[in-house]
């Protein structure tokens, strides 16, 4: 019989592929991102529910999968973790900053286990965005810096790794050829005051 994690891996691989989803910058099959998140989570825990949720963390947002589907197939704990990691719709939000603040509050209320998975997600996404889209990375890095400030209950090792990854990205963007001034990052961060 397959383990919970293996079932989650297979399910996530199938539904992301069926949705035609690819990684934005590299056009790789989307599953490379959940796989990277899982390995980061595995570096700090062997909790099978967390590893399953790491495989499944984007399925509700990005495919036809519902939280009910996840709970039915993988159990209440995995369903709850995926729910905490799923960006809730913000139809009343006027702009990106307002939507992001609502999402930051949602993840700040998540369990330590879900916060740990979110930190792994941030680490992997940050690496790709800084490498492939430095213009958007300016905004993204500020947002993630604000968000990880609210994820203090997540694993301390991954929290530190996320902080270093974000700081390195900002330092890179302050250098040539980008030359983004420090004051720009400060002004941008003020848009997300909670």
Asked if omega into 11 is within 30° of 0 (cis), the reply is no
For residue 56, which of 35, 42, 39, 72 has the smallest C-alpha distance? 35
Q: List residues with catalytic annotation.
A: 61-62
Question: In a 10 Å sphere around its CB, with 0-12 CB exposed, 13-18 middle and 19+ buried, how is residue 42 labelled?
Answer: middle
Cα–Cα distance list, 65 to 33, 68, 84, 117 (Å): 18, 8, 15, 19
- Between CA 34 and CA 58 the distance in angstroms is 8
- Between CA 48 and CA 77 the distance in angstroms is 10
């Amino acid at each position: 019989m397959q383990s919970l994690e293996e079932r989650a891996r297979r399910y996530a691989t199938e539904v992301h592929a069926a949705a035609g989803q690819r990684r934005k910058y590299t056009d790789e099959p989307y599953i490379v991102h959940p796989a990277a998140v899982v390995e980061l989570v595995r570096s700090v825990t062997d909790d099978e529910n967390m590893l399953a949720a790491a495989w499944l963390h984007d399925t509700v947002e990005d495919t036809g999968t519902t939280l009910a589907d996840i709970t039915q197939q993988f159990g209440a704990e995995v369903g709850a973790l995926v729910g905490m990691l799923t960006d809730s719709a913000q139809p009343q939000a006027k702009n990106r900053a307002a939507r992001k603040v609502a999402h930051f509050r949602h993840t700040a209320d998540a369990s330590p286990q879900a916060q740990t998975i979110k930190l792994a997600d941030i680490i992997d996404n940050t690496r790709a965005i800084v490498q492939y889209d430095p213009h958007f990375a300016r905004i993204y890095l500020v947002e993630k810096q604000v968000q990880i400030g609210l994820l203090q209950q997540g694993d301390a090792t991954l929290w530190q790794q996320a902080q270093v990854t974000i700081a390195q990205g900002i330092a890179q963007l302050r250098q040539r050829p980008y030359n983004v001034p420090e004051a720009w990052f400060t002004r941008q961060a003020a848009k997300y005051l909670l």
